[in-house]
């Protein structure tokens, strides 16, 4: 049974896009934790935030992370703030390799500005400087990753290939 590949990182770094492509290439099941929360609650993340607030969203996020700790052979794309709860890191590391996707604040701003409505946590920080500050605040949390990949100015396939190379090297070292 293969460990899960868990993509963490700030919003807009390409976790969902890279995760989906990675799952296709490796013939693994793909789960996006935000989409899973939407499926379970029956509402978009933005509506969940509006009606019930961040605390409820984070609670749903923890339930999904806990559920996924027992599964194997998956590619999991997480929400950008999943690392804010130490339990989530513990659950995801239980049976997963954590890969952090990074990007410049400028690239994140450009990517996220196309989908503004879907990013409730950026409402008060929607500037390059606001994004830079949030990234700096979370940097120590992202350091839990086993591997990091910069996605700035890169095609998804390049990012996916870097992740696959890391996974293969990790397997070779263990043999």
Contact 25, 96 (CB under 8 A): no
Burial of 76 (0-12, 13-18, 19+ CB in 10 A): buried
Domain borders along the chain are 4-168
pTM for the predicted model, two decimal places: 0.92
Query: Could you give the CA distance from residue 83 to residue 63 in angstroms, rounded to a whole number?
Result: 14
Could you report the per-residue pLDDT of 11-40, keeping only the tens digit for each? 999 999 999 999 999 999 999 999 999 999
**CATH architecture under which domain 4-168 falls:** 3-Layer(aba) Sandwich (3.40)
Strand, helix or coil for residue 138: helix
Query: Could you give the CA distance from residue 32 to residue 34 in angstroms, rounded to a whole number?
Result: 6
The pLDDT value given to residue 118: 47
Q: 6 to each of 44, 46, 87, 134, how far by Cα in Å?
A: 22, 23, 15, 21
Residues in the chain predicted with pLDDT less than 70, given as ranges, are 1, 115-125, 175
The residue whose two tokens read 């990675």 is 22
């Amino acid at each position: 049974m293969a460990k899960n590949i868990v993509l963490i990182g700030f919003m807009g770094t390409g976790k969902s896009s890279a995760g989906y492509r990675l799952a296709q290439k490796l013939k693994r099941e793909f789960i996006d934790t935000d989409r899973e929360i939407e499926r379970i609650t029956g509402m978009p993340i933005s509506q969940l935030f509006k009606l019930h607030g961040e605390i409820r969203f984070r609670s749903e996020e923890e339930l999904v992370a806990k559920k996924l700790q027992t599964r194997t052979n998956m590619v999991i794309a997480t929400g950008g703030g999943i690392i804010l709860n130490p339990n989530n890191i513990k659950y995801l590391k239980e049976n997963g390799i954590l890969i952090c996707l990074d990007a410049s604040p400028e690239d994140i701003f450009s990517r996220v500005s196309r989908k503004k409505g879907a990013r409730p946590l950026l409402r008060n920080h929607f500037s390059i400087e606001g994004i830079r500050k949030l990234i700096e605040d979370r940097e120590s949390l992202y350091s839990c990753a086993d591997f990091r990949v910069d996605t700035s100015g890169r095609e998804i396939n390049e990012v996916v290939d870097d992740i696959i190379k890391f996974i293969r090297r990790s397997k070779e070292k263990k043999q």
